Structure 1
Amino acid sequence: MQKIFGLGLTTALGLVFASEAMATEWNVSVWGKRRAFTEHVEKLAELVAEKTDGEFTMNVSYGGLSKNRENLDGISIGAFEMAQFCAGYHPDKNRLITVLELPFLGVENLDQEVAVSHAVYDHPAVQDEMAQWNAKLLMTSPMPQYNIVGTGEPRDSLEDFEGMRVRATGGLGEAFEAVGAVPTSVTATEAYQAMESGVVDTVAFAQHAHLSFGTINQADWWTANLNPGTVNCPVVVNIDAYESLSDAEREALDSSVPEAIDHYLANYGELLKRWDEVLEEKGVEKVTISDEELAAFREKAADPIRAQWIEDMEGQGLPGQELYDLVSSTLEEAKASN
């Protein structure tokens, strides 16, 4: 009897250990703190765990696994299974998705940003380039048009931008440089200190980042309608890890992306509704740029930077014109459907 009991116990323990061995656990590298920018990642983890009864879980780490500029490198070597990064941090590694960071593309809202981002992510040339880093593009982190905060007298003309030291990455940095500003690409987590120490005069961010990284707390003013563009920050997964998932796990992951994006959009929408209250509460002046100044900004920044980007991509044997045309046509369709 004791022998039978012992066998039964051994079998039961073996089943427990086998069950534990079958569970899948992913590490996810993001940065900063939980905020509107990471809500789709958090929602994705929640949905995947629910759909797999806890057999597929994700541990979201805010800076504990990697520096934000090194997340794509970490994905390439399999240091973690999922990560978020921004194209402007290393445009040489993700050349093609920087089309989404060109200034004055004409994107008007977050739904349109999702549409153009995912259209670019689905392009075979883009997927091939990211595969060089063992990365599969999973979903975007849609952000509204960037605007700048600053101290002192408001800068509301191109003349005021001359010599202005601005934290702006990628195509945004190029746009400001085109009108005489001096861009620097310090990371989001370094922006507050750069502003506080006087390394920069102004910081270009989406609203959530001005809140999350504290730059709004130092600001005297904020440009309400400059809207030069935004940055593109994909969520990627390690290809080997993705292909190692069971069919059920992969289905749980893929099918959760639309709902995670919807959650992100709803959450960000609430933040935008509160933005005017935040400005009033913190005593930040809302600055409106004139139509004439905006037109002059576009003339100096949009066409020349776009033309140079296309030429650079084509010169490297990459479909720059095709991708820009894809963004334009997708945006046109998205606006028509709205």
Structure 2
Amino acid sequence: MNKMLSRTALAAISIAFAGEAMAVEWNVSVWGKRRAFTEHVEKLAELVSEKTDGEFTMNISYGGLSKNTENLDGISIGAFEMAQFCAGYHRDKNPSITVLELPFIGVKTLEEEVAVSHAIYEHPAVKEDLARWNAMPLMTSPMPQYNLVGTGDPRDTLASFDGMRVRATGGIGKAFEMVGAVPTSVTSSEAYNAMESGVVDTVAFAPHAHLSFRTIDQAEWWTTNLNPGTVNCPIVVNTDAYEALSDEHREALDSSVEESIEHYLDNYAELLGKWESILDEKGVKRVEFSEEELAEFRKTAADPAREQWIEDMSAQGLPAQELYDLVMSTLEETRSGN
């Protein structure tokens, strides 16, 4: 009887340890605070936990694990299992993705941004590029076109950009540089202080970031239709951590991406609906550029930036023209499908 009880007890302990071994917790490195930009990560964690009955959970850290400019490095050494980063923060670390940050590539909606981003992430050259950091792309963080907030006299012509100090990264920064502005790539978390101290005159962000990082609180004016481009910010996972997942947990993760993106899009649409009233509330003047000025901006910035990017990336051994063409063909297919 005692032997039988002992066997039963050992079996119970074994089952308990087996259950504990099945539990998986991933650390996720993002930054700032919870906002529209991170809602898909929050939704992903919620869905994965639900689908696995709490066996697979995600601990989302807002700045506690790494600087936003070092998230890809953290992924590479397995310091955490998932992270968000923006390509423009370190173009040399992820050159293939920077095709999505070229100015004036023509993306008009967040749905189009999702389509072109995910198409690029699936390209073998991009997967190989990120594999250098032991990273796998999971999903994008789609953002609308950037626009400026600024202080002082409104910059409402290209000529007025000459000498303008602007917080802008990646291809957007290059675009402003081509029309005489002086871009600086301070991180989003540093943008408010840079504006407050006069290090920059203007800040280029999507609406949610102007709210989240409080640059709107200093703004005297906002460009409504400049739309020079946006930055691309993937969510990536550590390859080893992904491959170590059970089939059930991997399926829970992969199958939750689409719903997480849909949640993000719905949430962002709600925010954009409030944006105009926020401008009114804060007394921010709207600056609208003429079509002539916009056409000149595109001519000055878009073509040279694209040609230079293709030349530079080709020299690095990337199929640059192929990647650019993939963006264009995906845009065409997405629009024809709608």
For this structure pair, what is the TM-score category when the shorter chain's length is used for normalisation?
over 0.9
Which letter does structure 2 place at the counterpart of 1:146? Y
Q: CA deviation at 1:10?
A: 4.5
Q: CA deviation at 1:7?
A: 5.2
In structure 2, distance between residues paired with 1:234 and 1:51: 23
Query: CA offsets, 1:257-308, max 9 Å, x none?
Result: 0000000000000001111011011111111111111111111100001000
Query: Which residues in structure 2 correspond to 1:170-209 (within 5 Å)?
Result: 170-209=170-209
| Correspondence 1:300 to 2:300 | yes
In structure 1, what is the equivalent of residue 250 of structure 2? 250
Q: CA deviation at 1:127?
A: 0.5
Q: CA deviation at 1:2?
A: 6.7
Moved more, 326-335 or 31-40: 326-335
The 3-state SS of whatever aligns with 2:141 is coil
In structure 2, what is the equivalent of residue 320 of structure 1? 320
Q: CA deviation at 1:17?
A: 2.5
In structure 2, what is the equivalent of residue 117 of structure 1? 117
Query: CA offsets, 1:1-39, max 9 Å, x none?
Result: 677556544442332232112111100000000000000
Query: CA offsets, 1:184-221, max 9 Å, x none?
Result: 00000000000001000000000000000000000001
Moved more, 238-247 or 17-26: 17-26
In structure 1, distance between residues paired with 2:141 and 2:248: 25
TM-score (norm 2): 0.98
The 3-state SS of whatever aligns with 1:72 is helix
In structure 2, what is the equivalent of residue 265 of structure 1? 265
In structure 2, what is the equivalent of residue 32 of structure 1? 32
Query: Which residues in structure 2 correspond to 1:164-175 (within 5 Å)?
Result: 164-175=164-175
The 3-state SS of whatever aligns with 1:59 is strand
The 3-state SS of whatever aligns with 1:27 is strand
Unaligned runs of 5+ in 1: none
Query: Which residues in structure 2 correspond to 1:157-168 (within 5 Å)?
Result: 157-168=157-168
In structure 2, distance between residues paired with 1:81 and 1:74: 9
In structure 2, distance between residues paired with 1:140 and 1:86: 10
In structure 2, distance between residues paired with 1:322 and 1:136: 21
Q: CA deviation at 1:314?
A: 1.0
Q: CA deviation at 1:222?
A: 0.5
In structure 2, what is the equivalent of residue 151 of structure 1? 151
| Correspondence 1:54 to 2:54 | yes
In structure 1, what is the equivalent of residue 23 of structure 2? 23
Which letter does structure 2 place at the counterpart of 1:310? I
The 3-state SS of whatever aligns with 1:73 is helix
Moved more, 2-11 or 262-271: 2-11
Percent identity between matched residues is 75
In structure 1, distance between residues paired with 2:199 and 2:92: 25
Query: CA offsets, 1:151-188, max 9 Å, x none?
Result: 11111101110000000000000000000000000000
Which letter does structure 2 place at the counterpart of 1:219? A
The 3-state SS of whatever aligns with 1:274 is helix
The 3-state SS of whatever aligns with 1:25 is strand
In structure 2, distance between residues paired with 1:286 and 1:20: 57
In structure 2, what is the equivalent of residue 131 of structure 1? 131
The 3-state SS of whatever aligns with 1:157 is coil
In structure 1, distance between residues paired with 2:145 and 2:171: 12
In structure 2, what is the equivalent of residue 41 of structure 1? 41
In structure 2, what is the equivalent of residue 107 of structure 1? 107
Alignment: residue pair count: 338
In structure 2, distance between residues paired with 1:131 and 1:220: 44
In structure 2, distance between residues paired with 1:2 and 1:333: 71
In structure 1, what is the equivalent of residue 219 of structure 2? 219
Q: CA RMSD in A?
A: 1.1
In structure 1, distance between residues paired with 2:14 and 2:188: 48
The 3-state SS of whatever aligns with 1:18 is helix
| Correspondence 1:81 to 2:77 | no
Which letter does structure 2 place at the counterpart of 1:192? Y
The 3-state SS of whatever aligns with 2:61 is strand
Moved more, 151-160 or 14-23: 14-23
